[in-house]
Amino acid sequence: MDSGDLERKRIQSRRYYEKNKDKIKIKNRNRYLKDRNKILKRNAEYNLCHKESIDEWQKYYYQQNKEIINEKHKQYYQKEKEIFLERLKKYKKTPKGKLVHYKSHRRYFLKNRDKINKWRRKYCNENREKIHKRCREYYKQHRDIMRLKYREYYHTTKGKEVCTRAINKRRRDLEFMPLNSPFENCEAHHLSQKFVLYIPKEIHKSIHHNIWTEKNIALINGLAIIWAIENNNFENY
């Protein structure tokens, strides 16, 4: 059979398919439903045996028809957007979906690290209050879980290093000028970033405070100064 005969046969087959398209589709669908497991098994075996050649052909076909394929995907996504998103949401919850999602994000991050970090810094600087508010709300709603996670993290090697670096950084920014001498069961309390007052541990632990955010600083300073005046404990004032 020469090339002319093959071309004529191909044209005849195409005409027959166009004429009987609906009938052929129904017939193929019924045959698939009847022998579904058998067909899927046969396809899986074939794909496993010819994996490399199939991958090469798919890459070649995509490169040759990239614009057409992407356009079809866009049209399908717009048409079936809700179904697609729901299906994707369910898939991401599966072990395989989580792994694929993580690997995909990891590859993108490694490829675009500088671009992502630049965008993150810009976004954080422009939305600092919004981010802090969202973090505080999330912490309030998940307080017990977050405390447990923090506790577990700070017991790891990396967590200990991060905690130590943070404490050392804050201490470097503080001066240490004591107003009295240390005594038994005392702790050093910063009245300001410069002046330090040794007060009983019980008083120091009675109110949670933060000199950087000035949270409860006025309260704890008031208790510390009252204790020092009552016990005449100022030496270097």
Q: Contact at 8 Å (CB) between 204 and 190?
A: no
Q: Give the closest residue to 153 by CA, choosing from 166, 134, 172.
A: 166
Residue 236 has pLDDT above 60, yes or no: no
The structural domains of the chain, with segments of one domain joined by +, span 81-126, 129-173, 175-230
Average pLDDT over residues 109-134: 92
Q: Contact at 8 Å (CB) between 216 and 209?
A: yes
Counting runs of H as helices and runs of E as strands, what totals does the chain give? Answer: 13, 3
Q: Give the pLDDT band of residue 69 (cuts 50, 70, 90).
A: very high
Which residues, 6+ apart, have CB-to-CB distance to 51 below 8 Å?
A: none
- Of the chain, the percentage scoring pLDDT greater than 70 comes to 96
pLDDT higher for 69 or 2? 69
Phi, psi of 126 (to 5 degrees): -80, -20
Average pLDDT over residues 121-142: 91
pLDDT at 79: 87
Which secondary structure element, helix H or strand E, spans residue 192, and what is its range? none
C-alpha distances in Å from residue 79, one per residue of 83, 88, 112 = 9, 15, 31
- 220: buried, middle or exposed (CB in 10 Å: 19+, 13-18, 0-12)? buried
Sign (positive or negative) of CA dihedral 105, 110, 111, 112: positive
- For tokens 């059979």, the residue is 1
pLDDT at 80: 87
What's the mean pLDDT when you consider all of the chain? 87
Per-residue pLDDT of 138-156, as tens digits, reads: 999 998 999 898 889 888 8
Q: Give the closest residue to 233 by CA, choosing from 178, 191, 185, 193.
A: 178
